[in-house]
């Protein structure tokens, strides 16, 4: 039969051994300063984790972190076309995928630089969609709307039937409204353009596609 006093003595001996180890001098660091064995674990609170950046402005909080996906960027790329040498159109110099900001006569860029300019330019359209859409949307709906806003400009996008119907909760009506934004003013006349019909069809298809992540 096990002797209870011996068990108590053994437990006490182990406790004293652990206490002496915890009080032993910490090893010296490279700089000669003694480092606590537990210093790497502290602080233990939420201050250990870096603060998240503030959420972008958004009319509905669920849309605050949405960004255009690759499918949306590809709609813009295919619709705008890639020009690595600057060209003059509608009173301004353009380059890449319709970039105007820094384009100038005689300018040339690489395909990688054109992508960088596109991703920079599309941020204004992303901000407009986040600011104007009043209901939660998924990444494909967001990306299709960004392509539309990029093409029209934020001010024109704000007046579209697409946005009005979407904010009213009519997603099917919003998708159908893409089909009606297919005309532009050419020499003072409102003209339906095949290129816009193709673009709106691609945007509508993306808008209606279920996202990979629910």
Q: Pull the structure tokens for residue 202.
A: 């691609």
Q: Exactly one of 39, 47, 80, 127 is catalytic; name it.
A: 80
Tokens 């979407």 belong to 166
Closest CA relative to residue 181, chosen from 158, 162, 205: 162
**Which residues does residue 99 pair with via DSSP β-bridges, in sequence order?**
95
Q: Which residues contact 110 (CB under 8 A, 6 or more apart)?
A: 84
CA torsion sign, 196 to 202 to 208 to 213?
Answer: negative
Is 80 tagged catalytic? yes
Q: Which residues contact 155 (CB under 8 A, 6 or more apart)?
A: none
CA 140, CA 203: separation in Å to the nearest integer?
9
| % of the chain with per-residue pLDDT over 70 | 73
Average pLDDT score over residue span 7-28: 54
- Domains of the chain in start order, with CATH, are 69-208 (1.10.530.40)
Does 86 or 101 have the greater pLDDT score? 86
- Residue 96 Cα to chain centre, angstroms: 22
Q: Are 135 and 169 in contact (CB under 8 A)?
A: yes
Q: Are 34 and 26 in contact (CB under 8 A)?
A: yes
**Nearest 5°: CA angle at 162, between 159 and 165?**
100
Least confident interval from 50-64, 98-112, 145-159: 50-64
Residue 4 pLDDT: 54
CB crowding 194-213: b at 16 or more within 10 Å, else e: eebeebbebbbebbeeeeee
pLDDT interval class at 157 (50, 70, 90): very high
Burial class from Cβ neighbours inside 10 Å (0-12, 13-18, 19+) for residue 18 reads: exposed
Residue 91 pLDDT: 86
Tokens 């790329």 belong to 77
- Other Cβ atoms less than 10 A from the Cβ of 131: the count is 16
């Amino acid at each position: 039969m096990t002797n209870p006093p011996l068990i108590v003595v053994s437990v006490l001996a182990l406790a004293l051994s652990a206490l002496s180890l915890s009080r032993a001098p910490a090893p010296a660091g490279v700089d000669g300063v003694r480092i606590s064995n537990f210093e790497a674990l502290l602080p233990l609170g939420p201050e250990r984790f870096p603060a998240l950046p503030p959420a972008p402005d958004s009319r509905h909080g669920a849309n605050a972190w949405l960004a255009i996906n690759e499918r949306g960027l590809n709609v813009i790329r295919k619709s705008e076309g890639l020009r690595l040498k600057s060209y003059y159109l509608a009173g301004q110099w353009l380059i890449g995928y319709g970039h105007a900001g820094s384009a100038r006569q005689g300018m040339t860029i690489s395909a990688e630089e054109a992508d960088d300019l596109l991703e920079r330019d599309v941020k204004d359209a992303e901000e407009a969609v986040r600011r104007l859409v009043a209901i939660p949307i998924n990444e494909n709906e967001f990306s299709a709307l960004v392509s539309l806003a990029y093409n029209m400009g934020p001010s024109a996008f704000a007046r579209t039937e697409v946005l009005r119907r979407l904010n009213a909760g009519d997603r099917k009506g919003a998708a159908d409204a893409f089909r009606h934004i297919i005309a532009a003013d050419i020499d003072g006349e409102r003209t339906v353009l095949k290129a816009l019909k193709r673009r709106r069809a691609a945007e509508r298809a993306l808008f209606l596609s279920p996202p990979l992540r629910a």
